[in-house]
Amino acid sequence: MPLSAQHVSYTYTSRRGAPSFALRDVSIAIERGSLTGLLGPNGCGKTTLLRLLAGILQPHAGTVTLEGRALGSLSRRAVARRIAVVPQETHPAFDYTAIEMVLMGRHPHLGAFALEGPRDFDIAHDAMASTGTGHLADRAYMTLSGGEKQRVIIASALAQQPDVLLLDEPTASLDLGYQMEIALLLQQLNRERSVTMVMATHDLNLAASICDTVVLMRDGRIQAHGATGDVLDGDAVRRLYGVEADVRFHNDAGHLVVVPVGRAR
Amino acid sequence: MSSPTEVTAPVAPAHQATVRRHVAGGGRATKARVRATIGGFGVLAILTCLLAPLVGSTHISLLRAFDRTIPFADNVDAQIFFVARLPRVLAGALVGAGLASAGVVFQALLRNPLADPFTLGVSGGASVGAMLAISFGLSTSIGPLSPVPLATLAGAAGAAFLVYRLATTAGRAMSTSVLLLAGVTLNAFFSAVIMLLQYVSSFTEVYRAMRWLMGDLDIGGFTPVIAAFPLMAIAFVLIAFLPSALNQLSVGSDAAASRGVDVARVQRIAFISASLATSGSVSLAGPIGFVGIVVPHLVRLIVGVDHRVVLPASALFGAAFLVGCDLAARTLFAPVEIPLGIVTAMIGGPFFLWLLVRRG
Amino acid sequence: MAARTSRIVLALLLAYGAMVAGPAVRATTEVAFGEHGGHRDQQSLRVLRVGDGLRGSPAQRAPVVPRRIVSLVPALTEMLFAIGAGAQVVGVSSYDAFPPEVKKLPRVGALLDPDTERILALRPDLVITYGSQSNAEAQFARAGIRTYSYRHGGIATILESLRELAGLTGRRADGDRIASDLQARFDAVRIRVRGRPRPRTVLVFEHDSGTLRSMFVSGGIGFLHDMLEIAGGEDVFADVKRESVQPSVETLISRAPDVIVEIRANPPPNIDAERRAWLTLTTVPAVRNGRVHFLSGEYLVVPGPRVAQGVEAFARALHPAAFR
């Protein structure tokens, strides 16, 4: 089990002092090589869980373990060499080029004062090639299209050479074309490079199309966890979103599709 | 629908693709390139500091100035060179480097290229300290720190401490929006206090205070530099650890954390070191504007945005820039000296307008 | 969105910068064109009019001796008391301190904040103002009150103002007498120092305590310069046609004054620190020969009837041998 959480809880305290639980007693184990989808309505805690799994947040109760070792016991760089995160949106404050953005992924492998060497450049170019962004290396990141930007960010995460890739709503701000592009890319990376992936999303069809495992969350707790085919059905959708949906296998697509039908009575 | 393994034809961008040219083309911070760039700026800084004391409003003979046979106490040319000009040039280099690097650090910390060393209220607090010392004729000194610089430091430290407390929750990363809000609010409050102080002060005190606000490097001896040096040295040492982390931080807090950066710690070091550099600079020369924002922008136009190059290059170019501005201030209309802040504003204002026009 | 936000922020920054730079540029223009006097307080504005300084409608300019006078200008208050019109003074400025009688009088503000309500409540028939206080003067004119504006200048102007006030208050004889006394004292000093070599002197009236930064000295015009000339000193900055000059350290060293006179209204808290500050300029003759003098007293910085006392103090510092 590369990455798992045992009985983790996390609380956000508002300034007025009233605590609100983001996660209560959540336990989850991510299978090596899986492409897991974290599904749930807004505010269910999936982003918080993702950040806990990445080590960006420390749980208030419970532990997150990587290869059997508690994340807290590893140095941040050590964690970063194994786990990479693709955030929902990236807005750099300065006008970095795409290759500079990708090279930033090499940070956990370099010392504090080190500059990137030829090997780092090779890894970065390799990562960009694998996301189809090799030709964009010297372009300014901010001038790229939405899909290109996201692919560059994925490349920068790959440059970290992680075992696990955590993605937060990777297609949320993209149009249908780019959504498809990213979805296929992730699937390909998962299969060809054996990168374990965990993806938080509220796009049920995205999860249905590429995730082999799904985790359903609501109100800071896990409702269900298992193979997509077993877990994702009409009942699950109704329980999570209060929406009646038709969940069926689509022959042409080759995977499950979720079609919302109406509000649940 | 294209699959990611194909080479996708680049989508025509809506506006000009900016393929920036870096020092030697290609835009990557390879070791040799970085060394050459920083070396180049270093040479510029050293040359400026070597040449600046040679020029001034009075004509002096360098041979006489360096003539050891004449006792120093009798050697007017030597006095002008070593008491009037050289400390001024050194102070200018120190302040220029301090303000420029503080500007870079704050811009990365606040994730905003329009931030400058004075955004977070440090100079407002420093100004209040200086005004109090001037208006109430404070006369306490500590060692080489005379009353006005001492009060300036105290004010700056107070402001920085306030902002820090407002924006920090134990163990968590600083919220940049709270930082910005706290700083801007404090600045506004300090401006009001300064206006009140000016209202209740006598005319000459007001004029002296206004003159202080315009910046002045005419320190007349090495004592003020010695007083400010420890603070600046600490600041520079701390800043030296930041460049790589600042790159990461300027992309986003979570992104930086996920790449192994201790975000809370880096933010604290950045805030403290940049505040120290700003406080030391303001106590030495008053709040000189535009250096902290013009120099980083100029440097980025030349070398790109990698902080590992931008930070040292800005410090060096800032030193050269301010020494150059001071040279202009004291020679353009000799023997009348233009306040330094006016020279930097006259250069900075148009530069910014040009940047805006260019971007648009 | 990001570009628009940065543009707004940039515009705000530029506006803020203009706000700060505005007064700076204005102040510098004032220095460059001599509008600023720099020495003690209010006595530092140039009045644009030349003439008797008297305003008000023709009807009010009938020669009625004022019975109730309010004065916003300390130097002119002193003059009023000197010529014997002190009993008619019913209100003074926040900064008046001499003669002792003014301490009991009500305060009505000063240059920046004249309290016109308080002044009007005192029912004056003459108000002495600064030339720049045009708003206040307009109010008084509407209320039918005469005003007399202070004129800024050298010793000649002081004597003229004295005579004008004497004329206004019907005390011409006293005014002439005081003016003659002052002239006599000036002449006495001139005689004492005649023939003696005139030392090159700098008259310093402001700087940061303990250092030489932010130094303001008297330039080639104004009453301080005139005082120095009478007292037998050669003003090192006589060529600068401004009342106050801010010299750089380089300028001080190169002009090499023989005597430095620091003048203040009140003595410095730590005179040793001030002496030490000068010691860095070892080539300056004044420093080498120990001729750095610290004089303090209100009479040194107020361009009023006590100016002769100031001249005598300068003369004693510049030519000690002439006064033994």
CATH of segment(s) B32-52+65-359? 1.10.3470.10
Nearest to C14 among B207, B212, B352 (CB): B352
Residues of A in contact with B262 (CB under 8 A): 76
Between C290 and B353, the higher pLDDT residue: C290
User: Does pLDDT of B42 surpass 90?
Assistant: yes
Bond before B335 cis per omega within 30 degrees: yes
Rounded Cα distance between B30 and B32, Å, is 6
User: Of B69 and B336, which is predicted with more confidence?
Assistant: B69
- First-to-last C-alpha distance (Å) of chain A: 40
B27:A100 CB<8 A: yes
Please, what's the b/e burial string for C182-198 (b: 16 or more CB within 10 A of its CB; e: otherwise)?
A: beebbeebeebbeeeeb
A153 and A167, same structural domain? no
Please indicate whether, in this complex, the C-beta atoms of C42 and B203 are within 8 angstroms of each other: yes
Strands of the sheet with A69-70, listed across from one edge: A19-30, A3-13, A61-66, A69-70
User: Is C248 in the B-facing interface, judged by CB distances under 8 Å?
Assistant: yes
If asked whether residues A77 and A15 sit together in one domain, one would say yes
Q: What is the DSSP letter of B11?
A: P
C54-185: CATH superfamily: Nitrogenase molybdenum iron protein domain (3.40.50.1980)
Touching check for B219 and chain C: CB below 8 Å? yes
Neighbouring chains of C at 3+ CB pairs under 8 Å are B
Whether A191 is covered by a domain: the verdict is no
Chain A residues touching B106 at Cβ < 8 A:
none
Map out the domains of chain C as residue ranges: 54-185, 195-323
Which tokens is B174 given?
Answer: 């600083």
Q: Are A84 and A50 in contact (CB under 8 A)?
A: no
Q: Which chains touch B (3 or more CB pairs under 8 A)?
A: A, C
Residue C14's pLDDT band (cuts 50, 70, 90): low
Query: Which residues of chain C make contact with B58, given a CB cutoff of 8 A?
Result: 250-251, 253-254
First to last CA, chain B: 35
Per-residue pLDDT for B208 more than 90? no
Distance in angstroms (rounded) separating the CA atoms of residues C69 and C87 = 9
Task: Report the pLDDT value the prediction gives residue C27, as an integer from 0 to 100.
Answer: 41
In whole angstroms, give the CA distance from residue C88 to residue C84: 9
Instruction: Report strand pairing: A35-39 vs C89-92.
Output: unpaired
Candidate from B74, B204, B207 with C-beta closest to C283: B74
Within 10 angstroms of residue B110's Cβ, the number of other Cβ atoms is 23
Amino acid letter for position A145: S
**Inter-chain residue contact C44 with B203, CB threshold 8 Å:** yes
- Chain B residue with CA closest to C21: the answer is B342
Helix (H, G, I), strand (E, B) or coil at B131: helix
Of residues B83, B218, B339, nearest to C213 (C-beta): B218
- State the residue for tokens 């803020």: C16
**Residues B275-304: what's their mean pLDDT?**
94
- Across the interface, do A85 and B2 touch by the CB < 8 Å criterion? no
Instruction: With respect to residue A259, please indicate whether it lies within any of the assigned structural domains.
Output: yes
Q: CA-to-CA distance for B221 and C249, rounded, in angstroms?
A: 9
Among residues A86, A198, A8, A70, the alpha carbon closest in space to that of B259 is found at A86
Contact A243, A260 (CB under 8 A): yes
The two structure tokens encoding residue B64 = 């006489």
> C69 to chain B, minimum CA–CA distance in Å?
24
Three-point CA angle B156, B161, B165, nearest 5°: 155
Confidence (pLDDT) at C16: 60
Burial of C63 (0-12, 13-18, 19+ CB in 10 A): exposed
Q: Chain B residue closest to A55 (CA)?
A: B258
A98 and A121 belong to one structural domain: yes
Q: Which B residues, 59 through 118, put their C-beta within 8 Å of a C-beta on chain A?
A: 107-108, 111-113
Residues forming a β-bridge with B18: none
Q: What is the pLDDT confidence band of residue B3, given thresholds at 50, 70 and 90?
A: very low
Q: Give the SS3 label for residue B1.
A: coil
**CA-based nearest distance B170→chain A, Å:** 13
d(CA A232, CA A212): 11
Among A81, A93, A145, whose Cβ lies nearest the Cβ of B11?
A145
Q: How far apart are CA A154 and CA A128, in angstroms?
A: 9
* CATH code for the domain in which residue A26 is found: 3.40.50.300
Tell me what the mean pLDDT of segment C253-258 comes to.
94
Q: Cα separation of B136 and A176, whole Å?
A: 68
Longest dimension (CA), chain B: 86
Residue bearing the bigger pLDDT, B65 or C58? B65
Burial category of B337 from C-beta neighbours within 10 Å (exposed 0-12, middle 13-18, buried 19 and up)? buried
A248 with A130, same domain: the answer is no
Closest Cα in chain B, distance from residue C173 (Å): 35
Write the pLDDT tens digit of every residue in B244-265: 999 999 999 999 999 999 999 9
Examine the domain organization and report whether A71 and A94 are in the same domain: no
- Predicted confidence at residue A1, as pLDDT, reads 60
- A92 close contact with B: CB closer than 8 A: yes
For chain A, positions 232-261, list CB contacts with chain B under 8 A. none
Binary contact (A95, B305; C-beta < 8 A): yes
The residue segments making up the domain with residue A217 are: 1-82+163-171+196-265
Amino acid at position C43, single letter = Q
Residue A180 lies in a domain: no
- Orientation of helix B147-167 relative to helix B263-285, angle to 10°: 160
The CA distance from C323 to C67, in Å, is 43
Asked if A29 and A97 sit in the same domain, the reply is: no
Q: Name which of B19, B26, B248 is nearest A139 (Cβ-Cβ).
A: B19
Q: How sure is the predictor about C9, in pLDDT bands with cuts at 50, 70 and 90?
A: low
Q: For residue B33, what pLDDT band results from cuts at 50, 70 and 90?
A: confident
Q: How many separate domains does chain A show?
A: 2
Residues 183-202 of A with CB under 8 A from B: 184-185, 188
* Residue in B296, B300, B243 with CA at minimum distance from that of residue B27: B300
Neighbouring C-alpha atoms within 13 Å toward the C-beta of A5: 28
Residue C97 contacts residue C266 (beta carbons within 8 Å):
no
Contact B83 C253 (CB under 8 A): yes
Q: How far apart are CA B80 and CA B220, in angstroms?
A: 9
How is C7-63 classified by DSSP, letter by letter?
Answer: HHHHHHHHHHHHHHHHHHHHHHHHHHTT-B--SSTTTTB--S--S--EES-GGGGS-
pLDDT band at C19 (very low <50, low <70, confident <90, very high): low
Return the CATH superfamily for domain C195-323: Nitrogenase molybdenum iron protein domain (3.40.50.1980)
Per DSSP, which regions of C114-218 are E strands? Answer: 126-130, 146-150, 200-206, 216-218
Which candidate from B4, B18, B241 shows the least CB-CB separation from A185? B4
Q: Is the dihedral of CA B49, B51, B55, B60 positive or negative?
A: positive
C14 in Cβ contact with B349 (< 8 Å): yes
Which chain B residues in 21-60 lie under 8 Å from chain A, judged by CB atoms?
Answer: 26-31, 34
* Spatial distance between the Cα atoms of B304 and B306, rounded to a whole number of angstroms: 6
Claim to verify: residue A141 and residue A21 sit in the same structural domain: no
Say if residue C211's pLDDT is above 50: yes
B27 pLDDT above the threshold of 50: no
Task: Give the mutation candidate from B207, B288, B347 for the C interface (greatest C CB count, under 10 A).
Answer: B207
Main-chain phi, psi angles of A97, to 5 degrees: -80, 165
Count of pairs with CB atoms under 8 A, one residue in A, one in B: 137
Cα–Cα distance for residue pair C40/C306, rounded to 1 Å: 14
pLDDT class for B80, splitting at 50, 70, 90?
very high
Task: Count Cβ atoms within 10 A of the Cβ of residue B192 and give its class: 0-12 exposed, 13-18 middle, 19 or more buried.
Answer: exposed
pLDDT tens string B175-199: 888 888 989 999 999 999 998 998 8
- Contact yes or no for C283 and B75 at CB 8 A: yes
- Output the pLDDT for position B306: 93
Q: How far apart are CA B224 and CA C211, in angstroms?
A: 9
Q: Taken in order C93, C94, C99, C105, is the CA torsion positive or negative?
A: positive
Residues of A with Cβ-Cβ distance to B107 under 8 angstroms: 93
Check: CB of residue B201 under 8 Å from CB of residue B135: yes
Residue C20 confidence class, pLDDT cut points 50, 70, 90: low
Do A68 and A141 fall into the same domain?
Answer: no
* Distance in angstroms (rounded) separating the CA atoms of residues B244 and C175: 79
Nearest CA in chain B to A77: B260
Containing B81, the helix (H) or strand (E) segment is none
Q: What values do phi and psi take at A64, rounded to 5?
A: -110, 130
Q: Nearest 5 degrees, angle CA C195-CA C199-CA C204?
A: 140
How much is the pLDDT for A111?
Answer: 79
Our CA angle for A17, A23, A29, nearest 5°, is 155
Residues A46 and A67 occupy one common structural domain = yes
Pairing of strands C89-92, C126-130: unpaired
- What contacts A251, CB < 8 A, 6 or more positions away? none
C-alpha to C-alpha distance for C57 and A35, rounded to whole angstroms: 95
Name the one residue in this structure whose structure tokens are 């940061």.
C208
- C220-242 mean pLDDT: 93
A244 and A167 share a domain? yes
Q: Which residues of chain A have pLDDT under 70?
A: 1, 14-18
**Residue B240 · residue B97 · CB < 8 Å:** no
Query: What pLDDT was estimated at residue B311?
Result: 96
Best mutation target, B251, B265, B307, to test chain A (most A CBs within 10 A): B251
d(CA C198, CA C230): 10
Inside any domain, residue A184: no
pLDDT at C31 over 50: no
Three-state DSSP at A243 gives strand
Instruction: Please tell me whether residues A57 and A167 are part of one structural domain.
Output: yes
Q: Please choose, from the candidates C1, A103, C226, the residue with its C-alpha nearest in 3D space to the C-alpha of residue B247.
A: A103
C-alpha to C-alpha distance for A172 and B156, rounded to whole angstroms:
44
Angle, helices B147-167/B176-200, rounded to nearest 10 degrees: 150
Residue predicted with more confidence, C206 or C181: C181
ipTM of the complex model: 0.89
**Residue B202 pLDDT class (50, 70, 90 cuts):** confident
Residue B207 has what pLDDT? Answer: 85
- Each residue's pLDDT tens digit, B155-167: 999 999 999 988 8
- Angle among Cα A228, A231, A237 to the nearest 5 degrees reads 105
Query: Residue C177 above 70 pLDDT?
Result: yes
In chain B, which residue's Cα lies nearest the Cα of C22?
Answer: B342
- Residue listed under structure tokens 């193979």: A227
The pair of structure tokens assigned to A254 is 């080759």
The DSSP output letter for C85 is -
